[in-house]
């Protein structure tokens, strides 16, 4: 368990030069939420930014499925799913109590709806020209069913499940962002004012801005990039 302060962790890093290693891609919503989980956990890792058209063999060696995020722990074990990475990091340390037990069941159900039902319609809305069974408007309307669920939740609290952030917020927000960015004008014309405000606040959140820091694609021999401390050693 990593219960030490970030300062003590960084001291330990400088002594051992050994970190868990995260392969990430800045614009992937799954990788975004993994990075947010690490940021809220205040948990440093080595970050290796990848390009999806030229994936490094080191990543493919440990995760042949070739999708991001992938985290290789110091002991060699590999976490290949974003939620796995988020929960693992926050179980080590969770200073803002994103894994508050009273909300976990509801959070898991909401994330499951996001990852299955909403993501299905989001992909078709974004790439409607590849899915000609329905129009883009129809795909958007299918996705709006979940937006309405979120809007209703946000009428009760500042965040999805409470007046403080839970894992549901950081796991779902990158996908709402992606939906909004298909057509920002349309999104902000829809009747979801609470959700629109929630998204705008997240887009300006210091930890989200840090999560979206740009890095050059990693190559073997590059200096180590520590995330979230954003420094090299």
The span from the CA of 116 to the CA of 113, in Å, is 5
What are 50-61's pLDDT values in tens digits? 999 999 999 999
Number of independent structural domains in the chain? 2
Torsion of CA 66, 67, 72, 78, to 10 degrees: -80
What's the pLDDT band for 90 if we cut at 50, 70, 90? very high
- Whether residues 176 and 226 fall in one domain: no
What's the pLDDT band for 25 if we cut at 50, 70, 90? very high
- Whether residues 65 and 125 fall in one domain: no
Q: What's the pLDDT at 79?
A: 98
Strands (E), the chain: 21-24, 45-49, 70-72, 78-79, 225-227, 231-232
- Domain enclosing residue 28, as ranges: 6-95+209-232
- Whether residues 148 and 201 fall in one domain: yes
Residue 24 belongs to a domain with what CATH number?
3.40.30.10
pTM metric for this prediction: 0.90
What are 128-174's pLDDT values in tens digits? 999 999 999 999 999 999 999 999 999 999 999 999 999 999 999 99
- Whether residues 130 and 47 fall in one domain: no
Asked if the structure places residue 122 within a domain, the reply is yes
Q: Which helix (H) or strand (E) holds 146?
A: helix 136-154
Neighbours of 116 (CB within 10 A): 9
Cβ neighbours of residue 63 closer than 8 Å, sequence gap 6 or more: 23, 70, 78, 80
Average pLDDT, the chain: 92
């Amino acid at each position: 368990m990593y219960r030490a302060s970030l300062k003590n962790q960084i001291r330990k890093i400088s002594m051992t030069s050994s970190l868990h290693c995260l392969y990430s891609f800045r614009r992937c919503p799954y990788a975004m939420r993994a990075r947010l989980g690490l940021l809220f956990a205040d948990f440093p890792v080595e970050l290796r930014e990848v390009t999806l058209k030229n994936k490094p063999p080191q990543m493919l060696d440990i995760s042949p499925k070739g999708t991001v995020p992938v985290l290789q722990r110091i002991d060699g074990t590999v976490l290949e799913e974003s939620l796995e990475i988020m929960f693992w990091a926050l179980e080590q340390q969770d200073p803002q109590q994103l894994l508050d037990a009273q909300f976990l069941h509801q959070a898991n159900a909401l994330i499951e709806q996001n990852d299955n039902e909403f993501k299905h319609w989001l992909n078709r809305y974004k790439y409607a020209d590849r899915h000609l069974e329905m129009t883009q408007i129809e795909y958007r309307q299918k996705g709006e069913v979940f937006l309405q669920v979120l809007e209703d939740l946000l009428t009760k609290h500042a965040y999805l499940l409470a007046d403080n952030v839970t894992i549901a917020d950081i796991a779902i927000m990158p996908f709402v962002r992606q939906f909004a960015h298909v057509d920002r004008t349309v999104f902000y014309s829809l009747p979801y004012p609470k959700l629109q405000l929630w998204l705008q606040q997240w887009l300006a959140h210091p930890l989200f801005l840090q999560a979206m820091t740009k890095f050059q694609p990693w190559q073997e021999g590059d200096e180590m990039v520590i995330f979230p401390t954003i420094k090299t050693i």
